Structure 1
Amino acid sequence: MREIVLDTETTGFDPLTGHRIVEIGCVEAINFVPTDRYLHLYINPERDMPPEAFAVHGLSEEFLRDKPVFAEICGQFLDFIGDSRLVIHNAEFDMRFINAELKRLGIPTLPMTRALDTVQMARRKFPGAPASLDALCRRFSIDNSNRTLHGALLDAQLLGEVYLELQGGRQPDLVLAGNRRNAAGDAEGPVKIERIRREPRPHAPTEAELEAHGALLKQLKNPMWLAGAS
């Protein structure tokens, strides 16, 4: 099962007021386990960078000025995610921005049914507990010491580890059914199970057991295996 763990950084909170995506990070996961395949894109938002947003992710208007606009990376992004389910922390936020960019280009938007919200997963699993990405990293002892600022790829990588823990930890990686896949997503054939040969255990009865069995048989009246015997 292929999924894409996804995160975005933006110029603000609402695409309806003109805010745009400035960074996308995607990490592939197969059977809940992150692989080595990822997509990382910086995007020119074609507008200024509000100080409040810069304080969150540190991406300046000057840094983004020579980056491609969304129309130039849209095909690459859609090719990478394919038809896989999208795993997103606070999915409504990112999906609104992605769909606003797609709508601006006249491209069909992505249905919310494609997105799995890990905030909701965490709240169901740990009612009343903090469900931020940092809080979940602390809960699962995931090292997020490099997260001094928000970054789409780093956050997607951390979320991939959190998502695996929310699904039960490394156990999903031990599933033996199906095919293995390499980092490129290519099938490597069925999983081979090494079986250790053991010598058969002896099952011969002891003398005491034979005597006890014989005594029991003598107590039976008209045993069926003697019926019809002459």
Structure 2
Amino acid sequence: MPASTKRHPDFYFDEPETVTFEIDGVQFRPHLFILQRYCGLFRDMPAIAKKQSDLTSSESRIKLRDILPSDRNNKEMSAEAFELGLRVLYPEVLLVKPIKIMMEWIQVLEISHRWQSDYMRRVALAHLEGYKQYMSLSERCTLGNTYSIISWVFEVYRELAMRSGSMSSEELDLIPLRIARECSWLVNDSEKSSCTPSLATDAWHHPRHSRSCLTMHLQ
């Protein structure tokens, strides 16, 4: 093993039926059947199949950047992110560091999409349900739209539709343009009645207020 690389202390298994990945100078050697059982990316990957004839050799390394596309921000997956993904796939009893932070579960949600893993997505969403109360409407809506969590997006729309009081310009930005256009007269009413960017309370309680627009589209 080159001096510039090191084996991961928890996820380098010197056993048969494993495959070695090298990321940022760190070698991971997880069990192939776990990757292929839970992640479509590894199940159908030609590079993995080619290495199956030499699975017991630690010199048979796969550079993750050669097989995994960059994320939506054009960033390659780091060793820390790869470790996080494995921490979800392996039984918790084997883990030294269980995942207990909201931001890590959000990262797991991102990894689940890149690894094409419905299992990881379900686990991440199950844990994130407990953190929703700490998220703003904007954060929940952004995550919902980014990762196709339709129920979260609808929940945000329902909260906006059923809540009494004014709607801020930031909250209005959460509404799809198609719906916002139908309610755009509220913005004009607000500008006439208030110098602030928030929608005026009077306009909000108008018979044709934005709650009616949202409620109509949620039915």
Question: Same fold by TM-score, threshold 0.5 exceeded?
Answer: no
Q: TM-score, normalised by structure 2?
A: 0.27
Q: Which has the higher contact order (CA 8 A, sep 6+)?
A: 1
Q: Which has the higher strand share?
A: 1
Larger Rg: 1
Q: Which has the higher helix share?
A: 2
